[in-house]
Structure 1
Amino acid sequence: MHIKNLITVFAFSITCLLGTTLPARAADKHFQVGSMYVERHGNQGTPIILIPGLASGAWVWDDTVKQLEKNHRLYVVTLAGFDGQPATEGPLMEKAKASLLELVQQQKLDKPVLLGHSLGGTLAIWFAQQHSELIRGVIAVDGLPVFPGTENTPTDQRPVLAARFKAQMSAQTPEIFAAQQLQYMRAIGVVDEKLAQSIAGHTSKSDPVATASYASEIVSMDLRKDMSKVLVPLLEISPYYAADFAARNINVEAKNAYYQSLLQGAPKLQVLAIENARHFPMLDQPQAFMQVLQHFLKSVE
């Protein structure tokens, strides 16, 4: 894939999120673990670690937290460089994975569920490949083991592609960075225009250089060869908005099949679609999202 086309695609996959459209949460506790900032909610039940995606803050899970905190212990993380948190030096994904392990060990979490969106879903899958014995399940919300559209890129070409991508994306001014977030939210992020306008402004709290670094690391990764090592139940939530795929004659079954092919090898895999939703199904279709989430949690608890 040409680097300019890849940047356009990836710009549409940048995750940003919520601000004034939802009430503020009152976390029971705030603390730092490794490179991650953590909010804790709830004091009983199965622990769940919630991981936002690229350029997002913990607020992406506001509604999810409100629904789950009475019966679960929730640990909502924000990665370094996002939502106003200080940036750190790379390799950023490796540090984030190590920080997840530290969180599980430090808090003595008894087999938590990992719930990750986009980049957060990729991180959760990667963690499960190495530490399935420490968790009870993974829910990846539009997060995959390889960046869609790059699955046919040869391994030896990925670092070159990632470096070029990082160089071009890092050169963005804050104004261009903010404009991309609004373009993304309108085109791919969510269905509602008012919601898109409201939340896009908050993405600018994230460090553009850190965002570019995470993005380039994701482009360089291909975790498919180790999918058989994900020994816990893995649920991939695939959002589907028909109007976005009509011109290409891609129906919901075809999109699910494509995602299934990228996740091939996971022994306990399930791919479920949430329709009438774009990249953030938890915002576009919160009731449908919660039904899917609750069903999975009951199955692993």
Structure 2
Amino acid sequence: MLHLRHFVGRSTLKVLFLASAAALAVGGTVFVATQAQAEPALVVQAAPFVSDRMSVEVIGSGPDVILIPGLASSREVWRPLATRLAATHRVHLVQLAGFAGEPWSHGDGAFAEPAVAELARYVAETGLEKPAVIGHSMGALLGLRLAQTHPEAVGRLMSVDSLPFFSALYGPTATAETARPFAEQARAGLIAETDPATKRSRGLATAAGMARNEAVRAEIADWTVTSDNHAVASAMADVMTTDARPGLAAMTIPVTALYATDADGGPPPAMAQALWQREYASLPGVTLIRVDGSRHFIMADQPERFGELVDEFLR
């Protein structure tokens, strides 16, 4: 994906974009297949839900957990976690349209709010009662907006390396309006890039800031190539201009926000901590948790720590 760092100055801010990257929350993990083969066979079913905005795979039984991947990601990014949770939970793996080979039929139309509406419809039509929602990057922003606009649809929310307003990375005075020209610039750049080899090359280059593991970076490039340009462009523009901060103060559900820090080439711990504290300051009772030694894909870079935090969140 086209990274927001192309539209900001060469500064330490660029490092945080590499880590937070709503613009490039792409990728899966190559360890998925190996782990899936090692686990007992699970009954996998498609949810009884028809949508041109997303599909949902359901595994396991128990309390409901919805997993939402980030921009241009495959649902496979969650596979190791989902396989483990399926022993005690009913897990709903969302795949957003236009990403990682999923069909897209909406041209350059809006992405984020229609996806939120479909998530709410999914919860209502399948009869879920206050499910836990875990989202990564843009997926967490969608979960946050779902909780704000349909509070009956979310019991608790875990945000994985995501901000309520990603363009706050431009600085504390940024607004949706000041970010809009950059969002349109990003949209145009993505739509124009149609050569698969160029997309893969850029995906690999950007992935270096997204994950520490080189094999995982290759997966990020794969999802980049197979995602629809128009879908990603619309999603990126929406993410850059969606400011969920005004709705934080009225939220009552428990929210846990994980954020990545990596002294070796990733976001500096002190800077990341200050940013997350500032941007979530108005959310009552939010639990902020720093995960060291990780870049944007916390679930891949620190899988054991991530699993522990998810278990605590679900308890």
Fold agreement, TM-score > 0.5:
yes
Give the aligned partner of residue 183 of structure 1. Answer: 205
Gap change, CA 1:128 and 1:275, over 3 Å in 2: same
What letter corresponds to residue 127 of structure 2 in structure 1? K
Gap change, CA 1:245 and 1:179, over 3 Å in 2: closer
Give how far 1:157 is off.
3.0
Does the 8 Å contact 2:29/2:300 carry over to 1? no
Gap change, CA 1:33 and 1:95, over 3 Å in 2: farther
What are the residue-to-residue correspondences of 1:15-30 with 2, within 5 Å? Answer: 15-18=25-28, 20-23=30-33, 28-30=44-46
**Residues 1:92 and 2:117 aligned together:** no
Does the 8 Å contact 1:166/1:212 carry over to 2? yes
Alpha-carbon distance in structure 2 between the residues aligned to 1:114 and 1:267: 18
Does the 8 Å contact 2:99/2:223 carry over to 1? no
The number of aligned residues is: 291
Bigger mean CA deviation after superposition, 126-135 or 14-23: 14-23
Alpha-carbon distance in structure 2 between the residues aligned to 1:118 and 1:7: 22
**Residues 1:238 and 2:259 aligned together:** yes
83, 90, 100: which one aligns with 1:83: 100
Gap change, CA 1:233 and 1:33, over 3 Å in 2: farther
What letter corresponds to residue 135 of structure 1 in structure 2? V
Does the 8 Å contact 1:11/1:180 carry over to 2? no
Does the 8 Å contact 2:255/2:286 carry over to 1? yes
What's the Cα RMSD here? Answer: 2.3
Does the 8 Å contact 2:5/2:18 carry over to 1? no
Percent identity over paired residues: 28
Gap change, CA 1:204 and 1:255, over 3 Å in 2: same
What are the residue-to-residue correspondences of 1:281-292 with 2, within 5 Å? Answer: 281-292=298-309
55, 70, 87: which one aligns with 1:37: 55
Give how far 1:243 is off.
1.4
Does the 8 Å contact 1:177/1:204 carry over to 2? yes
What are the residue-to-residue correspondences of 1:202-213 with 2, within 5 Å? Answer: 202-213=223-234
TM-score by length of 2: 0.85
Gap change, CA 1:283 and 1:94, over 3 Å in 2: same
Give how far 1:230 is off.
2.2
Residue by residue, what CA displacement relative to the aligned partner does 1:156-214 show, whole Å, maximum 9, x if unpaired? 3333332222112211123322222111222x211122332344224311112211110
Give how far 1:253 is off.
4.3
Alpha-carbon distance in structure 1 between the residues aligned to 2:273 and 2:175: 24
Residue by residue, what CA displacement relative to the aligned partner does 1:104-128 show, whole Å, maximum 9, x if unpaired? 0011001101100010011111111
Bigger mean CA deviation after superposition, 223-232 or 93-102: 223-232
What letter corresponds to residue 57 of structure 2 in structure 1? E
Give the aligned partner of residue 130 of structure 1. Answer: 149
Residue by residue, what CA displacement relative to the aligned partner does 1:127-165 show, whole Å, maximum 9, x if unpaired? 111222332111010111111423522443333332222
Bigger mean CA deviation after superposition, 203-212 or 65-74: 203-212
What letter corresponds to residue 192 of structure 2 in structure 1? A
Give the aligned partner of residue 169 of structure 2. Answer: 149
Does the 8 Å contact 1:114/1:137 carry over to 2? yes
218, 221, 228: which one aligns with 2:242: 221
TM-score by length of 1: 0.89
Residue by residue, what CA displacement relative to the aligned partner does 1:239-279 show, whole Å, maximum 9, x if unpaired? 11111258xxx4x2442231121112111201101111110
What letter corresponds to residue 26 of structure 2 in structure 1? C
Alpha-carbon distance in structure 1 between the residues aligned to 2:125 and 2:256: 26
Residue by residue, what CA displacement relative to the aligned partner does 1:70-93 show, whole Å, maximum 9, x if unpaired? 111111101110111111322111
What letter corresponds to residue 42 of structure 1 in structure 2? G
Alpha-carbon distance in structure 1 between the residues aligned to 2:81 and 2:9: 31
What letter corresponds to residue 207 of structure 1 in structure 2? D
Does the 8 Å contact 2:30/2:215 carry over to 1? no
Bigger mean CA deviation after superposition, 271-280 or 196-205: 196-205
Give the aligned partner of residue 283 of structure 2. Answer: 266
Does the 8 Å contact 2:29/2:76 carry over to 1? yes
Does the 8 Å contact 2:251/2:284 carry over to 1? yes
Alpha-carbon distance in structure 1 between the residues aligned to 2:148 and 2:313: 19
